[in-house]
């Protein structure tokens, strides 16, 4: 059995390397996705005992949840997987609107249960905060669903520090999911200290900074997707970022590992980061992500990586 870690104060135990599934049926996020390949990614995750799967209503929309439900039914492995999904988006006249109202969240959970073909969701997140709903009121609705057995743990995603404190007024928040990587470390100012202090698990998304921390790009690399608009991938900043990645590669070579392995291993040394959810578009990437668990960083190496990206 693979190594298992506990997610914060929940009763959920998972492989520290999970699976982000926005490329499984996320046709609105990625062009030319093959659903058959997506199904193979999920089957490979099961074979490799990667048992924490992160999805959302808006991936597809709906299609990622449907494909996961299909594979878990096909394999009969629902009990082997800790399922996390998210809700907050709805469509009005073709436009996406955010809704955190208790009535909406309860309906969102019921709809996700159907698509996932399951009787419970292990972790349900409010995907984005809306402008009107008091955050503790929204979380209170999820607490009712938790008491009813429909969900096992409560998460919030993309909440600011102030919104997180309001959401956790009654101590019900189990998990925060937020953007965090070596290039984007603002969470260290307030979110990470707060989650550590309150035994809330912090799950970073974009841990490899859209592939930049994977160590596969050079100055000749060209991008025709959202990365082309990101400052990380533009001009002199891109050149500087590549130099930082090369410094990590020096450490990776000492470890007989790849850059991505070392980067993911560094996150797992952060207090309150229990599990990571790197994505995968191909089955071999699922297996690849697991290599991070073989990397043991010394205190000096942890400090060295931190200094490179100070």
What are the distances in angstroms from CA 14 to CA 44, 236, 238? 16, 40, 35
Active site residue 205: no
Cis peptide preceding 61, ω within 30 of 0: yes
DSSP 30: S
Tens of pLDDT, residue by residue over 98-120, are 999 999 999 999 999 999 999 99
Report the predicted TM-score, pTM, of the whole model to 2 decimal places: 0.96
Pairing verdict, β 95-98 and 89-92: antiparallel
- Contact criterion met (CB below 8 Å) for 94 and 143: no
Ranges of the chain whose pLDDT falls below 50: none
Residue 70, number of CB atoms within 10 A of its CB: 17
Phi, psi of 53 (to 5 degrees): -115, 130
Question: What is the residue extent of each domain of the chain?
Answer: 5-308
Whole-angstrom Cα distance, residue 184 to residue 221? 21
| Catalytic residue, candidates 59, 180, 194, 217 | 59
What are the distances in angstroms from CA 260 to CA 15, 38, 116, 181, 279? 17, 22, 31, 12, 12
Q: Which pLDDT belongs to residue 1?
A: 54
> Could you tell me the fold of the domain covering 5-308?
TIM Barrel (3.20.20)
Whole-angstrom Cα distance, residue 110 to residue 87? 11
């Amino acid at each position: 059995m693979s190594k298992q870690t506990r997610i914060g104060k929940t009763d959920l135990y998972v492989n520290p390397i999970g699976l982000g599934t926005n490329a499984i049926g996320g046709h609105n996020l990625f062009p030319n996705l093959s659903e058959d390949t997506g199904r193979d990614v999920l089957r490979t995750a099961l074979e490799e005992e990667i048992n924490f799967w992160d999805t959302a209503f808006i991936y597809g929309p709906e299609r990622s949840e449907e494909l996961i439900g299909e594979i878990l039914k096909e394999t009969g492995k629902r009990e082997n997987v800790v399922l996390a999904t998210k809700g907050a988006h709805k469509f009005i006249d073709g436009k996406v609107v955010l809704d955190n109202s208790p009535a909406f969240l309860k309906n969102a959970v019921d709809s996700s249960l159907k698509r996932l073909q399951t009787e419970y969701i292990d972790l349900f997140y409010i995907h984005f905060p809306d402008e009107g709903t008091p955050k503790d009121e929204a979380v209170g609705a999820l607490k009712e669903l938790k008491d009813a057995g429909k969900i096992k743990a409560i998460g919030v995603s993309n909440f600011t520090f102030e919104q997180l404190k309001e959401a956790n007024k009654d101590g019900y928040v189990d998990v925060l999911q937020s953007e965090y990587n070596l290039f984007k470390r603002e969470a260290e100012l307030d979110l990470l200290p707060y989650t550590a202090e309150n035994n809330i698990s912090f799950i970073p998304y974009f841990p490899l900074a859209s592939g930049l921390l994977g160590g596969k790009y050079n100055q000749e690399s060209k991008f025709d997707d959202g990365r082309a608009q990101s400052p990380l991938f533009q001009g002199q900043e891109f050149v500087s970022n590549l130099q930082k990645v090369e410094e990590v590669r020096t450490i990776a070579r000492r470890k007989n590992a790849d850059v991505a392995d070392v980067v993911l291993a560094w996150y797992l040394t952060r207090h309150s980061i229990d599990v990571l959810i790197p994505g995968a578009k191909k089955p071999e990437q699922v297996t690849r992500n697991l290599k991070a668990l073989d990397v043991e960083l010394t205190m000096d190496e942890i400090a060295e990586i931190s200094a490179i990206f100070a």
